[in-house]
Amino acid sequence: MTNYQKNFAIILAAGKSTRMGACKTSLPWYNNQTLLQYQVTEFLKADFIPIVVLSPQNAASQPNLPSETQIIINPNPELGKTSSILTGLTQIPQDFTTLAISAVDQPRPREVYQKLGYFHLLNKALITAPTYSDRIGHPLLFSPEMLPYLNSISEATQGLRQIVKQFNSSIQKVEFNHPIVLADLNTPEHYQTWFSSHLSSVISHL
């Protein structure tokens, strides 16, 4: 992808991690990185500027992140994931090229972001999503035309799910040969399953 400064990724990391039982942002991940550090680094390698949305509770405990990272605090994370998305959107310039939205518990190697970004621009798609076995995964990529719709999401209308439903026929679906695009590390069991898998084997199947 080109125009590095125009590609952004909102990384949602303000949740309480209730089901995990520990703050997900600081969980160990590949290459001696935390889960959050890994997400940020992989997005940067794919030419996306990461915008990390934290909560007041976990903001002070974060390790150093690359200088290109933008950090913003959601003052009311108890209002749900939608509130974190809306907080992150305040940092997105009107003239962006591509916007990815992902959660800290959805780690992907940069090859996923690169492939999605390539097809998103190639097809001038409104929304691009990875799929595996006909199931839509994450992250979702959005064009500038979708910004008004993103800014109008709410918990009452199921946030991004409503946009996916409304624009389903317009979604550019990119098939992957590995279920990593479906991974959500919601519980200790999910975390251990993916942590024990070898990153090299994931990349070889993408």
DSSP string, 93-126: -TT-SEEEEEETT----HHHHHHHHHHHHHTT-S
Token digits of residue 161: 């799910």
Q: Looking at residues 65-84, what average pLDDT do you find?
A: 93
- Asked whether the beta carbons of 167 and 126 are under 8 A apart, the reply is yes
- The answer, yes or no, to whether residue 2 has pLDDT greater than 50, is no
**In this predicted model, which residue has the larger pLDDT, 205 or 69?**
69
* Nearest CA-CA partner of 68 in 45, 44, 91: 44
- Quote the pLDDT of residue 191: 85
pLDDT at 194: 81
pTM of the model: 0.90
Q: Is the pLDDT at 140 greater than 90, yes or no?
A: yes
Strand 135-136 to 127-132 pairing: antiparallel
Rounded to an integer, the average pLDDT of 12-16 is: 85
Cβ neighbours around 35 below 10 Å, total? 23
Q: Is the preceding peptide bond at 139 cis, omega within 30 degrees of 0?
A: yes
Of 32-36, 41-45, 145-149, 198-202, the range with the lowest mean pLDDT is 198-202
Q: Residue 45: pLDDT band by 50, 70, 90 thresholds?
A: very high
Looking up tokens 């002070």, which residue turns up?
A: 60
The answer to which of 37-46, 145-154, 193-202 has the lowest mean pLDDT is 193-202
> For residue 3, is pLDDT > 80?
no
Q: What is the mean pLDDT of residues 37-57?
A: 95
Question: What percent of the chain lies above the pLDDT cut of 90?
Answer: 68
Gyration radius of the chain over CA positions: 16
Provide the mean pLDDT of the chain: 89
| Contact assessment for residue 126 and residue 142, using Cβ atoms and an 8 Å cutoff | yes
- Residue 4 in this model has a pLDDT that exceeds 70: no
- Predicted confidence (pLDDT) at residue 200 exceeds the cutoff of 60: no
pLDDT range class, residue 17, cuts 50, 70, 90: low
| CB-CB contact of 182 with 137 (8 Å) | yes
- Higher confidence at residue 19 or residue 195? 195
CA atoms within 13 A on the CB side of 155: 8
Q: At what angle do helices 35-45 and 110-122 cross, to 10 degrees?
A: 40
Mean pLDDT of 27-51: 93
Q: How far apart are CA 13 and CA 62, in angstroms?
A: 11
Half-sphere exposure of 108 (CA within 13 A, CB side): 32
